Amino acid sequence: MGARGRLKIGVLGLLFLLAMLLPAVACAEGMSYYYDSSGRLHKALREDGSAALYRYDDAGNLLSIENLQIDKAPPEIDSLNPKIFFTGTPSIVITMKGRNLFTLEGLYTDNAGVHILGFQSTEDTITAEIGIDSDAPSGSFSFYVKTSFGETSIGYTVATLSFTPERLLMKSGETSTVEVFMEPVSNTDLILSLYNPQPQILEAPQEIVISQGTGTFQVTALSEGTVVLRLAGRGYSVWIAGTLTGDIYVDSGNVSVSMPLLVRNNTGILSSQVSVGMIFPKSNLMDSVSVQLMNTLGTQRTYFDHVSVQMPFEATKVSGGVCVEIE
């Protein structure tokens, strides 16, 4: 490599080192310099209020330099879009509109479950990327904006979504209705995007209207498979089975199962195993179940234990519980 190439690498390395060492805001000879999260010079400000704004492309190449005059006054925020966020949202871009935002130094919030992933500003706009934990506290909170000339804040809401039923098990060709509940309730109607990764398996709307904290949508099963819909950070699972006989139930509680066994001389109770066949995943859950005791006099007594079923299964519903095949 020639001397010119070595010089180029040396300069780039020096610039990178300076970017790592420089703070987000640096001052020198009546100038204030503002750097972005990548260490690039983003803004420069003179004491007289004249400023320069540097814009880059995704690769880090400088696109333009805009010269402007700013008002050295405390920041003001007029609006935030959106103002309602949902738990479990990994990333969303928000926009704040106002005045005197050019010298933005910090953006904070009082909700520990809301993370500010990055931000930048012009004189009248702040653009930020945030993420919301699935267990973030819900309710009313605030963003706090700090510039070189003061601070201000604006409120927002963190809400949670729930579904009824909690999940769906359907046969191909069936249509089901799902209810959506929002907490806390918003006084304004919201239009939320519903993401369906497999429209060839499940037919679902692209948008859902939440009015006064509730909304509904319908889904139609097209073919066998599993689909996880996404609504404002929440996943909703739909299992679709092919052609089956009998009814289909989704049960996360206990299932009582009995079986006859012959106990000779009335000396004890025998126990056995039962398999509860699951459609998804395609495996069996094995656990001990109830047995039926028959003594030598022919009198029958039944002893019950339970199997905990956590996944959808095919069964025939009868009085007193759910019958499953005993192997």
Tens-digit pLDDT string for the chain (327 aa): 444 444 344 444 443 334 333 445 555 567 888 887 778 898 999 988 899 999 999 888 999 999 989 888 999 999 999 999 999 999 999 999 999 999 999 999 999 999 999 898 999 999 999 999 999 999 999 999 999 999 999 999 999 999 999 888 888 889 999 999 999 999 899 999 999 999 999 999 999 999 999 999 999 999 888 899 999 988 998 888 765 555 544 444 444 444 444 444 444 444 444 444 443 333 333 333 333 333 334 444 444 444 444 333 333 332 233 333 332
In the prediction, which pLDDT does 295 show?
39
Domain of 105: which CATH number? 2.60.40.10
Domain boundary among 114, 140, 159: 159
In the prediction, which pLDDT does 111 show?
97
In the prediction, which pLDDT does 253 show?
44
Q: Does residue 254 belong to any structural domain of this protein? A: no
In the prediction, which pLDDT does 26 show?
57
**Same-domain status, 130 and 198:** no
For residues 84 and 63, is the Cβ–Cβ distance under 8 A? no
In the prediction, which pLDDT does 149 show?
94
For residues 44 and 51, is the Cβ–Cβ distance under 8 A? yes
pTM of the model: 0.65
Helices (H) and strands (E) in the chain, counts: 1, 31
Q: Does residue 55 belong to any structural domain of this protein? A: yes
**Same-domain status, 35 and 55:** yes
Tokens encoding 115? 């993370």
In the prediction, which pLDDT does 170 show?
85
SS3 10: helix
Total number of domains constituting the chain: 3
**Same-domain status, 168 and 221:** yes
Looking up tokens 């996943």 gives: 235
Q: Does residue 176 belong to any structural domain of this protein? A: yes
CA-CA distance, 94 to 45, in Å (whole number)? 25
CA-CA distance, 315 to 325, in Å (whole number)? 9
Domain that holds residue 57: 31-69
Q: Does residue 63 belong to any structural domain of this protein? A: yes
